[in-house]
């Protein structure tokens, strides 16, 4: 028999699903002629991949942020503190710097995505595997070293751009900002497949999240291999962020916004509800932001700017009110 709080959260999730669906319909149908079949089909051909990319990004970043915050038992921090966004910009800059903007690796979207994901996945896995082992999974040390790594990656990237040819830098600049304008269908399908495979591999650890949030001692007493679960989940978080970042670019504050809004709205320990809530909120935020980008600012401002400004204000609000879920 479900409790009243459980039923209330289910109703909230249904409302969030309705909000996300309305936002999606608005994005698909605004300024689209329903009378002309060819124009409608052309509009759907352009907009459906963008909408699918927003849903995938919201699921990857929202789920990764919820899992990360639950593991470290802190709702203020997000996975971007591990230096993933800085690593993405460094990889992109290094490819253009060493191979050139006219190279096949830089021009081919599939090869570029594969290179981003492969390098980010391998480097992050090696770094954080060693990091977790050397720090004995001490989250404070992990976050501190992650901040140092972020500064280190950014410094190298800045150095490369200073000595880069100006024409090369112009071609690079647009790829360093999150954008849903040009989504490759094959890349999108590959991203969905990777995320589904990741969830399948980590299904046992994900089912133990409710127990892990009780603390290490309590989880061990209940028969959970705490260190192994945390290590696998943190690496899963890293790969999820890598997929989302390689797909659309870095969106620093999105995880902070949707993860904390989900926690404050649902007020539950059930991670199935929290992750779904974060994904639905992320979809609504991204779709709403993209509507502004396309129909109000006519692509003059990328959606990441709205999220960064709003996320910065929300971050200050969380710090000043010291809200904990």
In a domain, residue 93? The reply is: yes
What is the pLDDT, as a whole number, of residue 322?
62
Q: Report if residue 17 sits inside a domain.
A: no
Structural domains of the chain, count: 1
Q: Is residue 140 part of a domain?
A: yes
Cα–Cα distance for residue pair 211/224, rounded to 1 Å: 8
**Residues of the domain holding 128:** 4-12+34-176+183-303
Q: Is residue 214 part of a domain?
A: yes
Q: What is the pLDDT of residues 134-178, one digit of tens each?
A: 776 666 777 788 788 888 988 999 999 888 888 777 777 777 777
Quick: pLDDT tens for 243-299.
Answer: 888 888 888 789 989 999 999 999 888 899 999 999 999 999 999 989 988 888 887
Q: Report yes or no on 319 lying in a domain.
A: no
Q: Is residue 59 part of a domain?
A: yes
Q: Has residue 23 got a pLDDT over 80?
A: yes
CA atoms within 13 A on the CB side of 87: 29
Which one is predicted more confidently, 217 or 262? 262
Report CA-CA distances (Å) from 284 to 16, 27, 311, 317: 8, 10, 15, 21
Ranges of H-type helices in the chain: 4-29, 37-72, 84-99, 104-107, 109-134, 139-163, 166-173, 185-201, 203-207, 209-212, 216-221, 226-248, 254-266, 271-295, 303-321
Please provide the average confidence, as pLDDT, over all residues in the chain: 84
**Domain-located, residue 153:** yes
Asked if residues 303 and 289 have their Cβ atoms less than 8 Å apart, the reply is yes
CATH number at residue 92: 1.10.3470.10
Looking from the CA of 76 toward its CB, the CA atoms found within 13 Å total 12
CA gyration radius for the chain? 20
Give the per-residue pLDDT at 117: 79
Asked if residue 137 is part of any domain, the answer here is: yes
Are 92 and 176 in contact by the 8 Å Cβ rule? The answer is yes
The count of other CB atoms within 10 Å of the CB of residue 156 is: 15
């Amino acid at each position: 028999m479900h409790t009243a709080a459980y039923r209330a959260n289910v109703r909230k999730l249904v409302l969030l699903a309705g909000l996300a669906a309305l936002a999606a319909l608005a994005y698909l149908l605004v300024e689209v002629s329903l009378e002309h079949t060819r124009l409608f089909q052309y509009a759907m051909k352009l907009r459906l991949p963008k909408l699918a990319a927003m849903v995938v990004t919201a699921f990857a970043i929202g789920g990764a942020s919820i899992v990360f915050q639950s593991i470290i038992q802190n709702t203020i921090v997000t996975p971007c503190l591990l230096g993933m966004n800085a690593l993405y910009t460094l990889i992109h800059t290094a490819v253009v710097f060493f191979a050139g903007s006219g190279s096949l690796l830089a021009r081919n979207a599939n090869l570029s995505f594969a290179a981003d994901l492969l390098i980010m996945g391998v480097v992050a896995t090696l770094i954080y595997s060693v990091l977790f082992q050397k720090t004995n999974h001490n989250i404070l040390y992990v976050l501190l070293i992650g901040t140092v790594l972020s500064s280190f990656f950014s410094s190298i990237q800045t150095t490369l751009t200073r000595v880069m040819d100006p024409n090369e830098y112009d071609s690079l600049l647009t790829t360093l900002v999150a954008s849903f304008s040009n989504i490759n269908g094959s890349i999108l399908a590959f991203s969905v497949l990777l995320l589904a495979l990741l969830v399948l591999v980590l299904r046992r650890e994900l089912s133990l999240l409710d127990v892990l949030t009780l603390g290490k001692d309590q989880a061990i007493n209940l028969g959970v291999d705490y260190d192994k679960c945390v290590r696998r989940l943190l690496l899963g978080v890293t790969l999820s962020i890598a997929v989302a970042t390689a797909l659309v670019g870095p969106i620093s504050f999105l995880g902070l916004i949707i993860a904390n809004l989900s926690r404050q709205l649902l007020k539950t320990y059930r991670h199935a509800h929290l992750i779904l809530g974060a994904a639905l909120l992320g979809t609504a935020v991204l779709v709403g932001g993209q509507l502004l980008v396309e129909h109000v600012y006519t692509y003059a401002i990328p959606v990441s700017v709205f999220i960064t400004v709003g996320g910065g204000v929300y971050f200050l609000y969380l710090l000043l009110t010291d809200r904990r879920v």
